[in-house]
Amino acid sequence: MCAKVLATHPRPRDDARVTRRHPEPTLSPHELVSAYAQGAFPMAHPETGRVDYFICDPRAVFEVASWVAPGRLARTVRSGRFSVRFNTAFEAVLAGCATDRSAENRSWIGDRIQAAYRELHGLGIAHSVEAWADDRLAGGLYGVALGGVFFGESMFTVREPWARDASKVAFAGLMARLRTRGFVLVDSQYANPHVLALGAAEIPLSDYRTRLDAAITMPVGID
């Protein structure tokens, strides 16, 4: 049976700056890593499929060392409803995140982006974090780890009562793993109600880039 899914698709703020290239970016691993290191991230236009790099000011981030799960999420984590796994279902998480949320809110994760992140995953750069209810994938997220920074890309939750808050539990599991591994920052790109409710804060782009430059060279890993 095919379950309906609810995907969280970040969309650029009105003040997001886009760097347009002609022809389009190659999305090679080298280019993507270079873009992240400069504070840029790719998105595809849901209608045309064209990919461009975006840079947001201010930038939404999570502080790994001080992050605390909000009350209801903390209770859900403690309940043991879900187990959190890493990199066991990257393709399924990517597919869930790429599902259109509605006719008005279509996914920015086009075919080229999916192919690029599959390649990054094969290189050990892109990662999935999954929330499982027994043997059922309830939700998850994926992103890129470079140095002491995790760049969160998207998250999804299966739209079924048994899966409620699954992606948030996956996020809590990610934050716990990052803290033990010595990461310092999670980049959420730009603020929206979803990430703000999880505890994201906005900082100026200049501050973000200063912190990024320092953190990206840290000798830490997510595994």
Predicted confidence at residue 47, as pLDDT, reads 76
**What one-letter code names the amino acid at 40?**
A
Answer whether residue 204 is part of any domain.
yes
Predicted confidence at residue 6, as pLDDT, reads 39
Query: pLDDT for 146-176, tens place per residue?
Result: 999 999 999 999 999 999 999 999 999 999 9
Cis peptide before 23 (omega within 30 of 0): yes
Answer whether residue 70 is part of any domain.
yes
Determine the Cα–Cα distance for residues 39 and 176; give it in Å rounded to an integer.
Answer: 24
Predicted confidence at residue 20, as pLDDT, reads 54
> What is the number of domains present in the chain?
1
Find how far residue 63's CA is from the centre of its chain: 15
Answer whether residue 38 is part of any domain.
yes
Query: pLDDT for 34-92, tens place per residue?
Result: 999 999 999 888 777 788 899 999 999 999 999 999 999 999 999 999 999 999 999 99
Answer whether residue 221 is part of any domain.
no
Predicted confidence at residue 100, as pLDDT, reads 54
Answer whether residue 58 is part of any domain.
yes
The mean per-residue pLDDT over the stretch 8-21 comes to 43
Do residues 131 and 169 make contact, with C-beta atoms less than 8 angstroms apart? yes
Answer whether residue 222 is part of any domain.
no
Predicted confidence at residue 50, as pLDDT, reads 85
User: Which has more confidence, 48 or 32?
Assistant: 32
Residue 24 confidence class, pLDDT cut points 50, 70, 90: confident
Radius of gyration of the chain (CA): 16
Predicted confidence at residue 23, as pLDDT, reads 66
Answer whether residue 117 is part of any domain.
yes
pTM as predicted: 0.88
Answer whether residue 169 is part of any domain.
yes
Would the pLDDT of 105 be above 50?
no
Predicted confidence at residue 39, as pLDDT, reads 94
Supply the range of the domain harboring residue 172.
Answer: 5-215
Predicted confidence at residue 107, as pLDDT, reads 66
Query: pLDDT for 108-153, tens place per residue?
Result: 788 899 999 999 999 999 999 999 999 999 999 999 999 999 999 9
CATH classification at residue 62: 3.40.630.70
Task: Give the side-chain half-sphere CA count within 13 A for 153.
Answer: 33
